[in-house]
Amino acid sequence: MTANERVSVVTGAASGIGRATAKRLAAAGDFVVVADLNQEAGNAVVTEIRNAGGRAEYRRVDVADEASVDELASSVESAFGPAGVLVNSAGVLQNVATIESFSLEEHDRVWAINYRGTYLCCRAFAPRMAARRAGSIVNISSTSAVDAMPLLAYGPGKAAIQNLTAVLAAELGPDNVRVNAVMPGYVLTEQMQARIDAGKRDPGTMTKHSALGRMVAPEDVANGIHFLCSEAASCITGIVLPIDAGYLATVTYLYHPGLAGVHPSRAAKA
Angle, helix 218-228 to helix 16-27, in steps of 10 degrees: 50
201: pLDDT strictly greater than 80: yes
Reported as a single tens digit per residue, the pLDDT across 62-107 is 999 999 999 999 999 999 999 999 999 999 999 899 999 999 999 9
Mean pLDDT of 5-17: 97
**Per-residue confidence (pLDDT) for residue 261, from 0 to 100:** 57
Q: What is the three-state SS of the chain? A: CCCCCCEEEEECCCCHHHHHHHHHHHHCCCEEEEEECCHHHHHHHHHHHHHCCCEEEEEECCCCCHHHHHHHHHHHHHHHCCEEEEEECCCCCCCCCCCCCCCHHHHHHHHHHHHHHHHHHHHHHHHHHHHHCCEEEEEECCHHHCCCCCCCCHHHHHHHHHHHHHHHHHHHHHHCEEEEEEEECCECCHHHHHHHHCCCCCHHHHHHCCCCCCCECHHHHHHHHHHHCCHHHCCCCCCEEEECCCHHHHHHHHCCCCHHHHCHHHHHHC
**What does pLDDT average to over the chain?**
93
- Distance of alpha carbon 261 from alpha carbon 259, whole angstroms: 5
**Per-residue confidence (pLDDT) for residue 119, from 0 to 100:** 98
Reported as a single tens digit per residue, the pLDDT across 213-255 is 999 999 999 999 999 999 999 999 999 999 999 999 998 888 8
**Per-residue confidence (pLDDT) for residue 204, from 0 to 100:** 87
Q: Which is more confidently placed, 4 or 147?
A: 147
Whole-prediction pTM: 0.92
- Distance of alpha carbon 136 from alpha carbon 76, whole angstroms: 16
Question: Exactly one of 115, 119, 154, 247 is catalytic; which is it?
Answer: 154
Residue whose C-alpha is closest to residue 138's, from 176, 172, 90, 182: 182
**Per-residue confidence (pLDDT) for residue 269, from 0 to 100:** 53
188 neighbors 218 (Cβ within 8 angstroms) = yes
122 neighbors 71 (Cβ within 8 angstroms) = no
Reported as a single tens digit per residue, the pLDDT across 252-265 is 888 877 776 555 55
- Distance of alpha carbon 127 from alpha carbon 125, whole angstroms: 6
101: exposed, middle or buried (Cβ count in 10 Å: 0-12, 13-18, 19+): exposed
150 neighbors 97 (Cβ within 8 angstroms) = yes
58 part of the active site: no
**Per-residue confidence (pLDDT) for residue 202, from 0 to 100:** 87
Domains of the chain and CATH, by start: 7-202+215-247 (3.40.50.720)
2: pLDDT strictly greater than 70: no
